Structure 1
Amino acid sequence: MKPLSDVTTGAPDGGRPWRTAVADLLQRTRLAQPDELAAAVAAAAALLRLDVWMYLVDQEQRVLRPVPRPPREAPEPLAVESTVAGRVFMTVQPLPSTADGQRRLWLPLLDGTERLGVLEFVVHGEAALDDPGLLSGCDLFGQLVGHLVATKVPYGDALLQVRRTRRMSEASELVWRLLPPLTFACERAVVSAILEPCYEVGGDGFDYAVGGRSLYFSIFDTAGHHLRAGLGTAVVMSAIRAARRAGNGLYAMARAADRALEAHLPELRFTTAVLGELDLDTGRLRYINAGHPMPLLIRHGKVVRGLEGGRRMPLGLDDPQIDVAEETLERGDRLLLYTDGVTETRDHRGGLLTAEGLVDLVERDAGQLPAPETLRRLCHAALALYDGPPTDDVTLMLLEWSHDAGPAMVRPDPVPPAAGP
C-alpha cells in the first residue's frame, strides 16, 4: 500500500491535511451543541477519507457505548473485557483491526490522561494501518476530540446520557458534579479514583489538586445514606477546598470542615476522611486520618504496611488535636485509599471482605498496568465477591509517585499487527 504522504497530501508538508481537518473540526464545533459533536467529528474526518465513531465508557467502566450521530444508525455497544476496543481502553494504546472487509484503527479517547472511551477510525483510503503518518495524524485528531468532549459535557445532557444505563439518584447527581476527573497525571505522579455504585452514591467522595511541587488529595465518607449524606460530603469538600485555596495547610483544612459541618449540618453525625499532601520533588507525604480506614502503601506490587499515623476524630466532631503524620515514599510507590464500603459488604457466604482480603486483591491486581486500569480491575474484583449490589458506597483512590508513570500514559507505542474482529 502507498504511504500516507502519497495518499493524502501530494505536497511537501505531509501534515497539512491533518491540520486542515483539525481546523475544520474546531470551526464546526464552536457553536455545536453537545448532541451535535459526533456528527461534527465525522464530517471533519471525512476530509481524510476516514469514518469516525466515538465511544464513551459507561459509568461502571464495563461497556463502551457509541455516541449517536443521526441519521446514521449507531453501532452496538462494545464490552471492555472482550473486544479490541476494550483492549485499547484498558491499555491506552492504539490497535488496528480488520473485520467485515473494513480496516480500522482504534485509539484511546482521552482528555489529557482521563480515559473517556475510544475512537474507531474506519480507513477508506489506501493508507496502510501501520503507517506512522496515519497513527500520528489520528492521534492528533483524537486529542482534540477528547478535549472537545470534556468541554461540551457541561453544556447539555446528551454526552452524559450516553454513559448512563439508568437514572441517577439525587445524591449521585450532586456528588458527581462536585468530583474532579477520575484520573490526572503529570511528570511526577498519577492520581486515579473510582466510585461505586455509580447511580446510588451516598456520602462517599474524593478530591485532589496539583500545583507547583504539591499534590493535595482527600477521600471522604459521610455517615448516613442518600441525599443527606451527599450534602454532608459536599459541605466538607467545599470547606476543605476553600481553606486550601486560601493557602491553609492540612490541619486548617480539617478544622474548616469541622466548623462547616457544625454550622450548616449539625444534625449529621460526622465524616471520616484522609487528607494528604505529597511533595512531588522529594516524595515526602504528610497526612491526617480523621477516623478513616488506613491507607495502604504498595511497593513493587506488594502491600508493605498500612499508614497508622495522623489520627484524630472524624470531621464534624470538634477535635483540635494537631497530629500531621509524615512518611517518605520511594520512586514507584503507590498509595491506596478506600472507604469502608469496600471491606464491610458481605459476600455470598455472609463473610466480610476485611482489610486483609483487600490486601490480597491489591497484590493480585497491582501489576504493571497503569494506575487507572489497576484501580478499575481492583474495584470490579471486589464487587464480584459481593452477594448482590454493595450496601454502602465503594470508593478507591490510587496515587503513584514516579517520574515514569505519567509520561507512560501518554506515549503511544508502535502500532502492533492488525487484530481480528
Structure 2
Amino acid sequence: MAASEDRRQWRAAVVDLLQRDRLAQPDELGAVAAAAAAPLGLDVWVYLVDQEQRVLLPVPRPPAAPPPPLPVESTVAGQVFMTVRPRASTVDGRQRLWMPLLDGTERLGVLEFGLGDGGSADDPGLLAGCDLFGQLLGHLVATKMPYGDALLQVRRQRRMSEASELLWRLQPPMTFVSERAVVSAILEPCYEVGGDAFDYAANDGTLFFAIFDTAGHELRAGLGTAVVMSAIRAARRGGEGIAAMARAADRALERHLPELRFTTAVLAELDLDSGRLRYVNAGHPPPLLIRRGRVVRGLDGGKRLPLGLGEAAGLSAAPGRGEAAGRGDAVVVGGDEVAEELLERGDRLLLYTDGATEAVGRDGGVFGVEGLVELVERDTGELPAPEALRRLCHSALAGYAGTPADDVTLLLVEWAQDAARRMLPLATADPIPPWGEF
C-alpha cells in the first residue's frame, strides 16, 4: 500500500473513532474502538490495569467473548505497560502488536492490535498509526470514565469502601509529566483508603504538590482529608502561598470538623526553571531526597503543627499578611516556617505516609525509614517515575508481615529536563513518519 493511502486510512479511522465516541456510553467504548479499527484490518482489544497495578483486564465488547486477564509481571502486555514501549508477539501464527494505553502520559493499560494478513509490527507506518490511534483512545477512556460505572468496574477486583470512593474522586490523575518534571503517586490498600491522599498542580513555572494523612480511619478520616484538600485548593487558586494554604486548612478543619484531631501534610512548591523548592511540613514524615539513585537525606525543615492545630495554637498570620520572600534555610512567616532546598537536575523527592514505615516487617521489627530507603536504592534506579513507584510499593508490601494497619501512600516527584522523553511510547523507536503527514 502506498504511504499516502496508508495515511488516509489512518486519518479516516481516527475521525471514525471520534464520531462513534460522541454518543457512546462508557460500556460501549471497547466495541467503538474495535469498529473504528476494523477497516484497517486490525482487531483491537482494550485492557485497563487494575487499581493495584498487578493485572491487565479486558474491556468487554459484546457479543465477542473477552480474552483472559493478563498479569503485569509475566506477560508481553505487562512488559509494554511497565516500559511504555510497543512490543510484538505471535499467537496461533498471527502477529499482535501491543501498545501502551496512555491518557497523555498516565498509564491506563495496553492495547492489543491483532494484525491482518501481511501486517508487520516492524512497519514504522503501522507503529505511528497505532500510536496515534492509541493516544486518542487513551483520552477517550479518561473522559468517558466519569459518565458511568463500566470502565471503573473493569479496573476493580472488589468493592471499594466509602472513604475510598470519596478520595479517589478528589485526587488528580496518578501521573503527570511535562518537559521539566514528573509527578507519580500510588495508594495502598486502594480499596480501603482512609485519610491518605495527594495533590499537585502545574501552573506557569511552578509545580505545587502535597501529601496528606488525616488521623483516624475509614470515612471520618476521609472527610477530614476532603476538607483539607478543598481548603488548600481554594487558597491556592486564590493566589496564596503554601504557608497561607496550611492556615486555610487549619481554619477549615476547626470550622467544619472540630471533633477530628488533625491532618499531617507536606505542602511544597517547586520552581521548574531554577529547581528552588519551598516546603512546609505539618507534622509529617520528612520527604526523602534521591540523587542518582541514592537517598541523600531527609528534608527536615519547614516544621509546623499538623493541620487543624495551627490555628488553635495561634499560628495564624495577621489578616492580609503575605508570605515573606527570601533565601536561606527557612523563612518564618506568621509563625509558620517555610524551608528551602535547591535541587539538582534529575533529583527525585519521595513523599510518603507513616503507614509505609510503621508497618511490621517480616523479621518482626518495624519496617522503618531504613527499610524504605533500602528498597528505594535497590528497586527504583533509573526507571521512569511511575514504574519505579509501582515496584517500590509492591516491594514494600511484600516486605511487610501481613497487611499494613494504616494506609500506604507514596508520591514521587522528579525534576528533570528530559523527563517526558522516557514516558513516550516511540521516543526511542526507529524514525517515524511526521505526525503532520497523517
TM-score normalised according to structure 1 size: 0.95
Q: Which residue identity is paired with 2:384?
A: P
Distance across 2 between alignment mates of 1:346 and 1:65? 32
User: Which of the residues 381, 398, 403 maps onto 1:367?
Assistant: 381
Which runs of structure 2 are paired with 1:204-215 in the superposition (5 Å)?
204-215=196-207
1:52 has 2:44 as partner: yes
1:291 has 2:283 as partner: yes
Alpha-carbon deviation of 1:349? 3.1
1:99 has 2:91 as partner: yes
Distance across 1 between alignment mates of 2:366 and 2:287? 19
1:175 has 2:167 as partner: yes
- The residue that corresponds to 2:54 in the other structure is 62
Q: Is the 8 A contact 2:95 2:120 kept in 1?
A: no
Alpha-carbon deviation of 1:408? 2.1
- The residue that corresponds to 1:216 in the other structure is 208
Name the stretch that deviates more: 347-356 or 263-272.
347-356
- The residue that corresponds to 2:102 in the other structure is 110
Distance across 2 between alignment mates of 1:231 and 1:21? 45
Distance across 2 between alignment mates of 1:391 and 1:336? 21
User: Which of the residues 306, 311, 330 maps onto 2:344?
Assistant: 330
Aligned residues: 407
Inter-CA distance 262–25: structure 2 relative to 1 (3 Å threshold): same
Distance across 1 between alignment mates of 2:239 and 2:187? 28
Structure 1 outlier segments of 4+, above 3 Å: 10-14
Q: Is the 8 A contact 1:283 1:330 kept in 2?
A: yes
Q: Deviations over 1:5-40 (max 9, x none)?
A: x1xxx4745411001000011111100000000000
Inter-CA distance 385–11: structure 2 relative to 1 (3 Å threshold): closer
Distance across 1 between alignment mates of 2:115 and 2:425? 23
Alpha-carbon deviation of 1:278? 0.2
- The residue that corresponds to 1:355 in the other structure is 369
- The residue that corresponds to 1:142 in the other structure is 134
User: Which of the residues 241, 255, 260 maps onto 1:249?
Assistant: 241
Unaligned 5+ runs, structure 2: 316-334, 431-438
Q: Deviations over 1:321-375 (max 9, x none)?
A: 2210000000000000000000011123321110111111110012111000000
User: Which of the residues 225, 229, 232 maps onto 2:221?
Assistant: 229
Inter-CA distance 271–394: structure 2 relative to 1 (3 Å threshold): same
Alpha-carbon deviation of 1:42? 0.2
Q: Deviations over 1:215-244 (max 9, x none)?
A: 000000000000000000000000000000
SS class of match (2:201): strand
Q: Deviations over 1:164-216 (max 9, x none)?
A: 00000000000000000000000100000000001000000000000100000
Q: Deviations over 1:216-273 (max 9, x none)?
A: 0000000000000000000000000000000000111000000000000000000000
1:408 has 2:422 as partner: yes
Distance across 2 between alignment mates of 1:12 and 1:343? 57
Distance across 1 between alignment mates of 2:154 and 2:143? 16
Which runs of structure 2 are paired with 1:156-167 in the superposition (5 Å)?
156-167=148-159
SS class of match (1:357): helix
Distance across 2 between alignment mates of 1:128 and 1:14? 14
Distance across 1 between alignment mates of 2:399 and 2:4? 59
Q: Deviations over 1:382-407 (max 9, x none)?
A: 00011222211000000000011123
Name the stretch that deviates more: 121-130 or 76-85.
121-130
User: Which of the residues 18, 30, 35 maps onto 1:26?
Assistant: 18
Unaligned 5+ runs, structure 1: 1-5, 416-421
Q: Which residue identity is paired with 2:351?
A: L
Distance across 2 between alignment mates of 1:322 and 1:45? 57
- The residue that corresponds to 2:358 in the other structure is 344
Distance across 1 between alignment mates of 2:4 and 2:112? 28
Q: Which residue identity is paired with 2:240?
A: N
Q: Is the 8 A contact 1:52 1:120 kept in 2?
A: yes
- The residue that corresponds to 1:388 in the other structure is 402
Alpha-carbon deviation of 1:411? 5.0
Q: Which residue identity is paired with 1:227?
A: L
Q: Is the 8 A contact 1:50 1:125 kept in 2?
A: no
Q: Is the 8 A contact 1:270 1:317 kept in 2?
A: yes
Distance across 2 between alignment mates of 1:378 and 1:287? 24
SS class of match (1:15): helix
SS class of match (1:74): coil
Distance across 2 between alignment mates of 1:101 and 1:128? 13
Name the stretch that deviates more: 83-92 or 340-349.
340-349
1:81 has 2:96 as partner: no
Alpha-carbon deviation of 1:414? 2.2
1:275 has 2:267 as partner: yes
Q: Is the 8 A contact 1:186 1:407 kept in 2?
A: no
SS class of match (1:151): helix
1:376 has 2:390 as partner: yes
- The residue that corresponds to 1:40 in the other structure is 32
Inter-CA distance 113–11: structure 2 relative to 1 (3 Å threshold): closer
What is the aligned-residue RMSD (CA, Å)? 1.0
- Identity score, percent: 73
SS class of match (2:74): coil
Name the stretch that deviates more: 146-155 or 386-395.
386-395
TM-score normalised according to structure 2 size: 0.92
Q: Deviations over 1:272-313 (max 9, x none)?
A: 000000000000000000000010000000000100100000
